[in-house]
Amino acid sequence: MPQALSSFRQHPPSLPQVHNVIVHRSAFGELSDIGTASLITVNPWAVVLSLRRTLVSLTLNLMAAVRATRAALPLMLAAGNGAIVNVVSVNAFLPDPAVMDYSAAKAALANFSKSLSKEVGPQGIRVNTVSPGPVATDLWLGTDGVAATAARASGVPPEEVADSAVRSTATGRFTQPNEVADLVLLLVSQRAKNVTGTNITIDGGLTTTL
């Protein structure tokens, strides 16, 4: 058995720990007093110079998923089946200096997921990722979201910032949260039982490369 799988079985974290991670991950900002909006900057060098901010971003966008996976894997290995879907981002392959730490964390999560799919596939466990573009959530459209933060820095109305974010997409709109959820549900269902190690982009055609 690969060493990583042996480690998962010998030292599994408690399930209450992963419950906390999942709640914090979905709350966007509960992990520290920094919050999500402060992870957005118009000065890319602020990311490089702020170690604390970078560590918070890596914890929220990479390690939360790694810890949740580490907690769930022993149960899946014992059952001989399972499906993991990690939500990545188009920034994993479209790096943006304005969210340098976020882009790096999501790229690492994509790599982690792909590598894990190769390791646990023979044990009946599938691992896939979903990469959304701009999604109509508070992260983008809230009072302290990306659009509002960029608007305060540039003097442009938040609505114009939001419009510019999706102007170059084929559909010309934000992805809705339920559309991302539907895709995740498809990947964990039996309809996708031979799909693993795959990333599916849902960005309204924002990504133009093959």
Please indicate whether residue 102 is annotated as part of the active site: yes
Integer CA distances (angstroms), 45 to 7, 51, 98, 153, in order: 38, 11, 9, 15
Q: Is the residue at 79 inside a domain?
A: yes
Residues 6+ away with beta carbon under 8 Å from 1: none
Rounded CA gap, 109 and 59, in Å? Answer: 11
> Does residue 156 sit within a domain?
yes
Q: How many structural domains compose the chain? A: 1
| Strand pairing category for 199-202 and 125-132 | parallel
Task: Give the pLDDT score at 126.
Answer: 97
Dihedral sign from CA coordinates of 180, 186, 187, 189: positive
Q: Which of 29, 64, 102, 166 is catalytic?
A: 102
By the 10 Å C-beta count (0-12 exposed, 13-18 middle, 19+ buried), 199 is classed as middle
Whole-number pLDDT of residue 49: 57
In this structure, is residue 8 part of a structural domain? Answer: yes
β-sheet bridge partners, residue 130: 87, 200
Give every residue of the chain whose pLDDT is below 70, as ranges.
Answer: 1-49
The per-residue pLDDT for 52 is: 83
Instruction: Answer yes or no: is 75 within a domain.
Output: yes
Residues 6+ positions from 177 with CB-CB distance below 8 Å: 135, 136, 137
Domain assignment of residue 208, yes or no: no
Q: Contact, 66 vs 7, CB < 8 A?
A: no
Domain that holds residue 191: 3-202
What is the per-residue pLDDT for 44? Answer: 53
Rounded CA-CA distance 37/34 in Å is 8
DSSP state of 62: I
What CATH number did the domain enclosing 171 receive? Answer: 3.40.50.720
Does residue 207 fall inside a structural domain? no
